[in-house]
Structure 1
């Protein structure tokens, strides 16, 4: 049986990976604190300090590295780039070197589409072999980690697999996606009727986890970069329509012209927020599908329905 260690098991993605792997693989969790019900898998680990020794990595075949200093809107750190690098670049490389010392064969690094950039022109998606072009400190720290991991792979023979997700959603999702879910669940008309000329790639957490599992032992995954999505890009208007359909709510949206959004963004100093709302960010996953013989097992519609059902169940508990 393949033995797997995972960092970030207490996070949104990590929890879903653990659920998928716990029954099929020997599992170790590298965490600051143990997770209730999984204490027997726990090993002390801090991104900024690493592991105190390599015992937690002994007899491990594959390490899945999900833990990171995540992207923070309006970061108030005095040295945000240094803070991101300390965790996402230096911390990742230190862990990878410990993996090499422990004889681990494969290191799966959950990176970010922000390594490619923040936006694309309509129907001109990012590709796996595009030049890295991060535009913020988080993306830069992940990009630098990728470069150094691939260099380490050349030097040591460690098999590095890099996965760059787009926006990940699913049951229990937080942040802006959850805020939008809440608005749509109320059944009120929302002002996105004119935002039809953009496209965004999303990925359900089930699809992302399925790809990660595929990469655990796929012989062609070694030293590759994989982009991942549901393979069904949607405009902002279409995304809200799909959410409304998942909730069984009205899909009518107010036709507020996009020029009004741009004017409001400029007036309020929120142009970056408006650009994300109106702009496109698409990925081409043909390399992922062809190299691995993989396709997303869950449709976007299924993913939205699963997410909406979980959202409603959680509201009933509150």
Structure 2
């Protein structure tokens, strides 16, 4: 049966999403080749490692599907004078170079992991982003992802290669870092947080759910030349997320009922508008197009995914 599965070439194989994707694809019997800067002991021995740089010539022969998960992600403390130039070099130019090489090699499908930032930074509560919304990226990262999407779809129109674009919201799961790990750390230490009265709604996506959709998009006939939004299908307020994460950690939630308006005002005074927007603002996505087109349902519940994330976090302490 494994001989009938498409051979897959993957970038970003050692990242959070890529690592989980490699595990799932190998479990399903796929033959995998992965682009790496240097040979990595992190990857299973059954993965054929191709040493090289994104955007440079790479051997894609004998691969039917490319899953492009590597990217220059948003940098919290940017040092370059023109971030958009740096984002375009990796996220646009290198992506399109890889896609052109894929076309030349006869690759059948190119799956691109984009970002919800193509849609924008936030939504009004109850008015989620939809697949066919006019893109409205607000930062260099989002702009570069949008431009890559546009370039890929143009290449799809002039070639036989199918393109599939996936725009994830915030991804969480075992090994998650940055703000999500900081949140777990605060909760685990029992630090009181002034986030007990946040009435926003935010879509999240568990790592297992995102990986399941990517695997589906690698083969599903109806995915060809489509763009999909992805989430867990259950939106949470910041307060709900903290409460349920505390339960997963088996710790009491020490949340102080500070009004959101006061937090937003404090953020403006302290120059932390972006932080407060993430904590107090809404960002929802409508995944009905994804469900209807692919017959896809998120296989993992929010609470199950939070528990798995918490268990891994606790095991690393």
TM-score range, shorter chain: over 0.9
Identify unmatched segments of 5+ residues in structure 2: none
- Structure 1 residue aligned with 2:7: 3
Equivalent of residue 243 in structure 1, options 236, 240, 245? 245
| Match status 1:203 vs 2:173 | no
Q: Displacement, 1:182?
A: 0.6
- Structure 1 residue aligned with 2:269: 267
Contact 1:64 1:108 in 2 (8 A): yes
- Structure 2 residue aligned with 1:44: 51
- Structure 2 residue aligned with 1:165: 168
Contact 2:99 2:110 in 1 (8 A): yes
Write out the 4+ residue segments of structure 1 that deviate beyond 6 Å after TM superposition: none
The two structures have a TM-score, normalised by structure 2, of 0.95
Alpha-carbon distance in structure 2 between the residues aligned to 1:45 and 1:121:
43
Alpha-carbon distance in structure 1 between the residues aligned to 2:49 and 2:33:
6
- Structure 1 residue aligned with 2:139: 136
- Structure 1 residue aligned with 2:89: 86
- Structure 2 residue aligned with 1:57: 60
Identify unmatched segments of 5+ residues in structure 1: none
Contact 1:188 1:250 in 2 (8 A): no
Q: Displacement, 1:187?
A: 3.0
Q: Which moved more, 1:81-90 or 1:265-274?
A: 265-274
The two structures have a TM-score, normalised by structure 1, of 0.95
RMSD: 1.2
Matched residue of 1:156: which SS? Answer: coil
Alpha-carbon distance in structure 2 between the residues aligned to 1:22 and 1:77:
38
- Structure 1 residue aligned with 2:22: 18
How big is each residue's C-alpha offset from its partner over 1:247-270, in whole Å with a ceiling of 9 and x where there is no partner?
Answer: 112134211122321222122111
Q: Displacement, 1:190?
A: 2.1
How big is each residue's C-alpha offset from its partner over 1:163-202, in whole Å with a ceiling of 9 and x where there is no partner?
Answer: 000000000000000000111112343211111x210000
Alpha-carbon distance in structure 2 between the residues aligned to 1:77 and 1:166:
26
Alpha-carbon distance in structure 2 between the residues aligned to 1:167 and 1:283:
11
Alpha-carbon distance in structure 1 between the residues aligned to 2:129 and 2:39:
38
